[in-house]
Amino acid sequence: MTLIKETDFGTPAATSETMVTLTVDGFDVTVPQGTSVMRASVEAGIKIPKLCATDMVDAFGSCRLCLVEIEGRRGTPASCTTPVEPGMVVRTQTGRLKDLRRGVMELYISDHPLDCLTCAANGDCELQDMAGAVGLRDVRYEAVDTHFRAKNTSGEANPQWMAKDESNPYFTYDPAKCIVCSRCVRACEEVQGTFALTIEGRGFDSRVSAGMHEDFLASECVSCGACVQACPTATLQEKSVIEIGTPDRSVVTTCAYCGVGCSFKAELRGDELVRMVPYKDGKANRGHSCVKGRFAYGYASHKDRILNPMIREKITDPWREVSWEEALSFAATRLRAIQYELGKDAIGVITSSRCTNEETYLVQKLTRAVFGNNNTDTCARVCHSPTGYGLGQTFGTSAGTQDFDSVEQTDVVVVIGANPTDGHPVFASRLKKRLRQGAKLIVVDPRRIDLVKTPHVEAAHHLALRPGTNVAVVTALAHVIVTEGLFDEAFIRERCDQDAFADYAEFVSDEKHSPEAVESLTGVPAQDLREAARLYARGGNGAIYYGLGVTEHSQGSTTVIGIANLAMLTGNIGRPGVGVNPLRGQNNVQGSCDMGSFPHELPGYRHVNGQEVRDIFESMWGVSISDEPGLRIPNMLDAAVDGTFKGLYCQGEDILQSDPDTKHVSAGLAAMDCVIVHDLFLNETANYAHVFLPGSTFLEKDGTFTNAERRINRVRKVMAPRNGYADWEVTQMLANAMGGNWSYTHPSQIMDEIAATTPSFANVSYALLEEKGSVQWPCNDKTPDGSPVMHVDEFVRGKGRFIRTDYIATDEKTGPRFPLLLTTGRILSQYNVGAQTRRTGNVVWHAEDLLEIHPHDAEVRGVKDGDWIKLASRSGETALRTKITDKVSPGVVYTTFHHPTTQANVITTDYSDWATNCPEYKVTAVQVMPSNGPTDWQEKYEEFSTLSRRIEAAE
Amino acid sequence: MSPEKLTYMANQIAGFFRTRPRQEAIDGVADHISKFWAPRMRAQLFSMIEQGGAGFDPLVLDAAPSIRKVG
Ligand code: SF4
Ligand code: SF4
Ligand code: SF4
Ligand code: FES
């Protein structure tokens, strides 16, 4: 294990297919047209000294260190900004070049502090490297004015000197060390797309500045870390490197936060994690990251982490630390006792979208093979289950159709009910890059998300619909496409079911689905909607990206079907640049669905009533599998209240905080005899648990995650599990305590079992992942390299199937008591229920959940910015503070749900999607009124939590 | 689960299929409930229908005979 040093080619790769041959120092090299001389030289194995160039950003040509001589040209052009030409003869190392370079370096060094030995970047500094590379041996003159001396020789303050900016929790900016190469500025613009940095002033006075002379924290900076990576010196430097020192080995692994699934190098010294650096070869992120994956890993070593198993008789007792054996036998005995008394269906499991595929597979296997029922569900139920249903019905499989690279070929992007800059930041950066190149954007969202207008990006249309009217809007878009004859006839004839199309065309053509007819209902101006439909249908490659704003509705599945209909109507399926792409919330939502977490289907989306499918698993596992669907999470809770379901093993999920209608969830949990929580922290669900099994972080185990593009990425063990066992081992121990007789010794064996039983994974193995880095399922004999784009020649189900999408208004309606509509979402720096991010430096950006309310609605209620307000629905009430903003329309309020004290889900109701029971998080009728602080319920809950978290250490 | 909630869920499913041709709608509802509802929920549905089926969408009642039996 060594430190991986990726080659810096100096300038980005060119994409041309025309090749050009030239010679560099006598060696022939052939590269695509448009490549820089610098990059061509690196390809030939010759590194030209450079400072201002790096391959993550376009060349700028300011440092003049990369000079070369080219036969037949005068002067010494900069190799980073000079494109190759056929037959070019380049020389990189001549007497004249050497002198010039030394001169350049002398100037740089004369205005740079020479404290290399104590500098955090010592050994990892390009300025240092270049001084060495050009053979700089002495600096002939001493600068009178410098940027790095706080005081001049007579002790007066130096006006050129600026203090270190340490405001960001994760990195520092030390202007004294800056060489003004502008790599950071370009990284922020080109890679991240935030435009937070500028170079102020000119010549000797020029400086990097965040925002308008602000510190980093106060500026627009979103702490993605791109500038820190780009910086050749210690000017922008991770605080962890300053504290610990430079790393000496790296392990490539996958971020455990969101569905983008970025690849990182975990860089360590010994077993101490020094930093996480995005991996250039990562196919989802291409070397970029966001604040969560790059910096927010501190929760892994947080003091709240529970490292020993614990049990208790009753949930009112304090926890008792016990040995693994005792905890497991306690759990096994209780679970078997429940089954003995109430039947084998009285217990079940909840799998996690945060754990690995292998772990999820084992948890559903636990219930199917050891408990003997199909009572397995997952938190994907509460986010993307409608995607599974909707895309399954129309296309034949439950997954996004593209890879993320596809966005680079998109002409019209439609974003529906998603907020990528907060929810899927690295994808958002790639999307913004494409939009800056001229692709058009249509946003369908009640809220003016940041993407609608950010630097150098502006949506062509923002359809700010009323929450809950997605189906009406999507159907109206289809109405325009059909009635105006904008559909792709050839595609439909060749690829889709004709009867279904005829039926659908007749259905949507009805005048009642026209934009004019639904305008009063949806609040979207008809003309705007028509233009958006025309743009999507006729603007070139059209791609739809959607999120929880689509799925978390009573008609979530219907909207997904409507979206699939739109893509089929316009022929936007089956090639790069188009498609239907669900943006998945948690890191492994895709994987947990693939792995058979749902009660009605075995791994690979195959219904339990299929005899052939059951046969495969029955012979592999040596058990018989029930052909009846098991219970979903809400059904488990209902059954618990009825007294027929009493035991639950819940891995890596906090259902009390993430599921709707908190009071219903707590009543269900409280009615059980054996709740086993397997997690990193005593989460909210653990307040109702009898057994706590400590979990391991993604840094502590091997496995795979599957991201939103169906990409199976390796998770690699970076350090030993602090709790003693990886999560898959814990599940195995529980299974064996109940007579399971499992004997896996490595997660690769679990993947082999998955491949042997699940056709879309048939060729997946750890060896293949090692070789290819990652692979997108389906990966089998038909597509041995995996499938970046799905439904290429035909749909998975054969012919694409159009399905009618009637709009049915949700029963959650506003009225005199609850006149406002609440919708919920997430923000960049926090993640889901926040259990991890709240335990990192990220809290500086989001210390509490706030209620966004339009100035008009605030005024009539006498509420000011930052006031405590009471938020009430027919389910319950909670209190939080306000943020007054016109990002939300009048009549709509918005909040996040990252903090347990807010308990936003006390407010949400138990309405849910008709097909999958995915809860309707996105629409709740509420009232807002002034208040003095937390509600009684919140205070009581705080008290109860504290009480139920008492731990008695083992004697 | 509460009878109201169960009725509500069944009617929601009927809502999606309502505008289809009659037989297709009946098959759609029956198939959906057979595939996704655990036996206990189907048993409750059958017993509520036996007791008169008040509150159910007519489409649910028509679909009931084709819903997978329990046991
Ligand atoms: S951390 Fe990211 S957003 Fe902040 S200044 Fe650097 S590149 Fe820009
Ligand atoms: S902060 Fe770093 S990257 Fe930015 S201009 Fe200064 S030296 Fe270059
Ligand atoms: S975008 Fe998602 S996967 Fe990538 S670093 Fe951020 S949280 Fe992790
Ligand atoms: S690296 Fe080419 S000019 Fe700086």
Residue numbers in A near B37 (CB within 8 A): 629
What spacing in Å lies between the alpha carbon of A654 and ligand 3's midpoint?
Answer: 21
Residue A653: predicted pLDDT:
85
**Is the preceding omega at residue A599 within 30 degrees of 0, hence cis?**
no
CA of A80 to the centre of ligand 4 (A): 6
Say whether pLDDT at A914 is over 80. Answer: no
* Better pLDDT: A902 or A949: A949
Regarding predicted confidence, which is higher, A92 or A654? A92
What's the CA gap between A583 and A451, in Å, rounded? 15
Tell me the C-alpha distance between A53 and A66, whole Å. Answer: 9
- CB contact at 8 A, A290 and A222: yes
Is the minimum distance from the CB of A56 to ligand 1 under 6 angstroms? Answer: no
Using an 8 Å Cβ cutoff, are A827 and A850 in contact?
Answer: no
Contact A915 B13 (CB under 8 A): yes
Which secondary-structure segment (H or E) carries A453?
A: strand A453-454
Rounded Cα gap, residues A833 and A14, in angstroms: 42
pLDDT tier for residue A689 given thresholds of 50, 70 and 90: very high
CB A548 within 8 Å of CB A921: yes
Q: Is the CB of A226 under 6 A from ligand 1?
A: yes
Interface of A with B (CB under 8 A): 345, 375, 507, 554, 557-558, 599-600, 607, 609, 628-632, 635, 638-639, 642, 644, 804, 806, 808, 910, 914-917
Distance from the B57 Cα atom to the nearest Cα atom in chain A, whole angstroms: 14
Least distant ligand from the CA of A180: 2
State in Å, rounded, how far the first CA of chain B is from the last one: 19
Ligand 1 pocket test: pick from A170, A184, A188 the residue with the most ligand atoms within 8 Å of its Cβ.
A188
Per CB-CB distance under 8 Å, the chain A contacts of B15 are 806, 808, 914
A800 - beta bridge partners? A496
Mean pLDDT confidence for A10-29: 93
Report chain B residues whose CB lies below 8 A from the CB of A644: 40
- Bridge-based pairing state of the strands A674-679 and A691-694: parallel
Distance between Cα A103 and ligand 4 center (Å): 14
Q: Are A772 and A785 in contact (CB under 8 A)?
A: yes
Tens digits of residue pLDDT in A612-659:
888 998 998 988 888 888 988 888 988 899 899 999 999 988 888 777
Name the residue among B13, B37, B38 with its Cβ closest to that of A914. Answer: B13
> How remote is the CA of residue A260 from the centroid of ligand 3, in Å?
6
Inter-chain touch B1–A642, beta carbons under 8 Å: yes
The beta-carbon neighbor of B38 closest among A558, A630, A806 is A630
Suggest the residue from B8, B29, B36 to mutate for an interface test with chain A (most A CBs closer than 10 A). B36
Separation between Cα atoms, residue A13 and residue A299, nearest integer Å: 37
**Nearest residue CA, atom 8 of ligand 1?**
A188
Average pLDDT, chain A: 88
Partner residue facing A607 (CB), from B2, B35, B41: B35
Q: Cβ–Cβ of B36/A630 closer than 8 Å?
A: no
Which residue is closest to B37 within chain A, CA to CA? A629
A798: how many CB neighbours lie within 10 A of its CB? 11
CA distances from B46 to A523, A626, A641, A914, B41 (A): 42, 21, 21, 19, 9
CA distance A711 to A581: 13
Residue A243's SS3 state is helix
Contacts of A5 (CB under 8 A, 6+ apart): none
Domains of chain A plus CATH, in order, are: 19-133 (3.10.20.740), 171-301 (3.30.70.20), 340-377+600-776 (3.40.50.740), 385-582 (3.40.228.10), 820-948 (2.40.40.20)
Contact B20 A630 (CB under 8 A): no
Q: How far apart are CA A225 and CA A262, in angstroms?
A: 14
Residue A21 has pLDDT above 90, yes or no: yes
Which residues from A are below 8 Å from B38, CB to CB?
A: 375, 599, 628-632, 635
- Given pLDDT bands bounded at 50, 70 and 90, which one contains residue A929? confident
Q: How many beta carbons lie within 10 A of that of residue A177, not counting itself?
A: 23
pLDDT at A494 over 60: yes
Distance (Å) from the C-alpha of residue B62 to the closest C-alpha of chain A? 19
User: pLDDT > 70: what percent of chain B?
Assistant: 100
Determine the atom of ligand 4 nearest the C-alpha atom of A38. 2
Task: Express each pLDDT in B48-62 by its tens digit.
Answer: 888 888 888 888 888
Please give the ipTM for the structure prediction: 0.88
Q: pLDDT tens digit string along A365-394?
A: 999 999 999 999 987 776 778 888 888 888
Nearest CA in chain B to A598: B36
| pLDDT confidence tier of residue A954, bands split at 50, 70 and 90 | low
Residue A612: CB atoms within 10 A of its CB come to 7
A925 contacts A821 by C-beta, under 8 angstroms: yes
Count CB-CB contacts under 10 A for residue A887: 15
Q: Cis (ω within 30 of 0) for the bond into A778? A: yes
Alpha carbon of residue B5 to chain centroid:
12
Of A607, A609, A628, the CB nearest to B38: A628
DSSP letters, A651-709, are ES--HHHHSS-HHHHHHHHHT-SEEEEEESS--SGGGG-SEEEE---GGG--EEEE-TT
Are residues A174 and A237 in contact, defined by beta-carbon separation less than 8 angstroms?
A: yes
CB of A923 closer than 8 Å to CB of A848? no
Does the C-beta of A320 come closer than 6 Å to ligand 4?
no
**pLDDT tens, residue by residue, A542-580:** 999 998 888 888 788 889 999 999 999 999 998 999 999
pLDDT tens readout for residues A764-816 = 999 998 898 888 988 888 888 888 888 888 888 888 889 888 887 777 878 88
Q: Does B39 contact A507 at a Cβ distance shorter than 8 Å?
A: no
Supply the pLDDT for residue A297: 85
| Ligand 4 pocket check for A52: Cβ under 6 Å | yes
- The residue of chain A with its CA nearest to that of B44 is A639
Ligand 2, from A62, A125, A208, A219: best to mutate by most atoms within 8 Å of Cβ? A208
Q: CA of B68 to nearest chain A CA: how many angstroms apart?
A: 10
Query: A739 by DSSP, 3-state: which?
Result: coil
Ligand 4 and A80: CB distance under 6 A: yes
Of A557, A629, A804, which is closest to B37 when you measure between CB atoms?
Answer: A629
Q: Report the DSSP beta bridge partners of residue A444.
A: A416, A463
| pTM of the predicted protein model | 0.89
Query: Three-class SS of residue A569?
Result: helix
Instruction: Give the range among A304-318, A590-604, A803-817 with minimum mean pLDDT.
Output: A803-817
A88 in Cβ contact with A173 (< 8 Å): no
Q: Quick one: pLDDT band at residue A679, thresholds 50, 70, 90?
A: very high
Distance CA A563, CA A586 (A): 22
Distance CA(A202)–CA(A213), nearest Å, equals 16
Q: Tell me which chain A residues have a C-beta less than 8 angstroms from the C-beta of B13.
A: 914-915
Measured in angstroms, the CA of A349 and the nearest CA of chain B are apart by 15
Longest dimension (CA), chain A: 92
HEC letters along A380-419: HHHCCHHHHHHHHHHCCCCCCCCCHHHHHHCCEEEEECCC
Nearest CA to ligand 2 atom 4: A184
Task: Residue A916: list chain B partners with CB under 8 A.
Answer: 36
Q: Tokens standing for A407?
A: 């966005």
* Predicted pLDDT at A834: 63
H or E segment to which residue A851 belongs: strand A850-853
Name the DSSP letter for residue A515: H
| Residue of A227, A828, A842, A845 to mutate, ligand 1, most atoms within 8 A of C-beta | A227
Closest atom of ligand 4 to CA, residue A60 = 3
Pairwise CA distance, residues B10 & B33, whole Å: 8
Distance CA A117, CA A132 (A): 15
Query: Are B29 and B59 in contact, with CB atoms under 8 Å apart?
Result: yes
The answer to whether B5 contacts A910, with C-beta atoms less than 8 Å apart, is yes
| pLDDT interval class at A829 (50, 70, 90) | low
Each residue's pLDDT tens digit, A405-462 = 899 999 999 999 888 888 899 999 999 999 999 999 999 998 888 888 888 888 888 9
Position in ligand 2 atom list of the atom nearest CA A231: 3
Give the count of Cβ contacts less than 8 A between chain A and B. 52
Pairing between β-strand A877-884 and β-strand A868-872 as defined by DSSP bridges? antiparallel
Chain A partners within 8 Å of B69 (Cβ): none
User: How far does residue A126's CA lie from ligand 1's centre (Å)?
Assistant: 20
Q: Please give the Cα distance from A352 to A685 (Å, whole number).
A: 14
- Residues of chain B contacting residue A629, judged by C-beta atoms under 8 Å apart: 35-38
What angle, rounded to 10 degrees, do the helices at A470-483 and A498-509 form?
100
Mean pLDDT of A9-15: 92
Distance CA A110, CA A932 (A): 60
Rg (CA), chain A: 29
Distance A282 CA to ligand 1 centre (A): 20
Give the tokens for residue A942.
Answer: 């705080």
Q: How far is the CA of A187 from the centre of ligand 1 (A)?
A: 8
The residue type at A269 = R
In order, the DSSP letters of A97-111 are: HHHHHHHHHHHHHHT
Q: How many CB atoms lie within 10 A of CB A946?
A: 10
**Rama region for A951: left / alpha / beta (φ>0; ψ in -120 to 50; rest):** beta
